[in-house]
């Protein structure tokens, strides 16, 4: 009896060791092959956007200055600003695109994606028009990006996507209809 108990404890320990090493190897593999982490937005940029307190003139100036200083982060900066102040999404997109015309399409997609559901469809035409007015040569790239976004939601948004926690929890307490 004691011998079989000792064997069982040893087998359990070996099994746990083996499963832990597999889990560790799997997590190392994920870390090596996982998606690259997007560059972080400098804290000073976030502070400037927050300090603008959704005042359109101050917000657009802060976005333009931030994108000018950090052109590789243009879509991310515009998305943060539009997420904080969705009412000025078109102005934010135009300011960002005028500071970095080469990323106009990515900025449009990022700003539209940063808006709350329901506002995306309503504000998309305003955002596109504002960016095309700020950067007249961007019409073709913006049209292509919007078409791709419409037919492939979650695609073309850089590090952003439609994968993540649901916005609404599933209702598990709803009873099935007897019919």
Same domain, 23 and 47: no
Q: What percent of the chain has pLDDT over 70?
A: 61
Same domain, 84 and 23: no
Which pairs count as long-range contacts for 146-149, CB under 8 Å and 24+ apart, including other chains? 146/108, 146/109, 146/112, 148/109, 149/109, 149/112, 149/113
Same domain, 62 and 2: no
71: in domain: yes
Same domain, 14 and 79: no
Same domain, 67 and 131: yes
Same domain, 111 and 140: yes
> Model pTM?
0.64
Same domain, 108 and 24: no
Same domain, 70 and 101: yes
pLDDT tens profile 140-149: 878 777 777 7
174: in domain: no
Q: How many domains are contained in the chain?
A: 2
Same domain, 56 and 94: yes
Q: Write the CA distances from 12 to 17, 19, 20, 57, 162, integer angstroms.
A: 9, 10, 12, 66, 41
Q: With contact defined as beta carbons under 8 Å apart, do 42 and 80 qualify?
A: no
CA distance 36 to 26: 17
Structure-block tokens of residue 50: 């927050």
Same domain, 25 and 65: no
- Alpha-carbon Rg of the chain, whole angstroms? 24
Q: Identify the residue whose tokens are 């300011």.
A: 95
Structural domain of residue 2, as residue ranges? Answer: 1-29
Same domain, 14 and 94: no
Dump the DSSP string for 40-109: PPPHHHHHHHHHTTT-HHHHHHHHHHHHHH-GGGHHHHHHHHHHH-GGGHHHHHHHHHHH-GGGHHHHHH
Model confidence at 139, pLDDT cuts 50, 70, 90, reads confident
14: in domain: yes
Instruction: Between 146 and 153, name the one with better pLDDT.
Output: 146
């Amino acid at each position: 009896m004691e011998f079989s108990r000792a064997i069982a404890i040893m087998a359990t320990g070996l099994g746990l060791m083996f499963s832990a090493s597999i889990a560790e190897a799997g997590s190392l593999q994920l870390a090596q092959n996982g998606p690259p982490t997007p560059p972080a937005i400098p804290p000073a940029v976030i502070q400037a956007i927050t300090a603008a307190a959704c005042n359109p003139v101050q917000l657009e100036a802060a976005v333009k200055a931030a994108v000018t200083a950090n052109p590789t982060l243009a879509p991310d900066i515009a998305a943060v600003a539009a997420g904080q102040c969705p009412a000025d999404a078109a102005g934010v997109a135009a300011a960002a695109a005028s500071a970095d015309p080469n990323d106009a399409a990515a900025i449009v997609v990022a700003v539209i994606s940063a808006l709350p559901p329901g506002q995306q469809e309503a504000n998309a035409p305003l955002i596109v028009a504002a960016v095309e007015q700020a950067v007249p040569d961007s019409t073709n790239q913006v049209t292509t990006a919007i078409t791709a976004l419409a037919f492939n939601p979650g695609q073309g948004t850089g590090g952003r996507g439609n994968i993540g926690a649901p916005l609404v929890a599933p209702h598990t307490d709803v009873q099935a209809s007897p019919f």
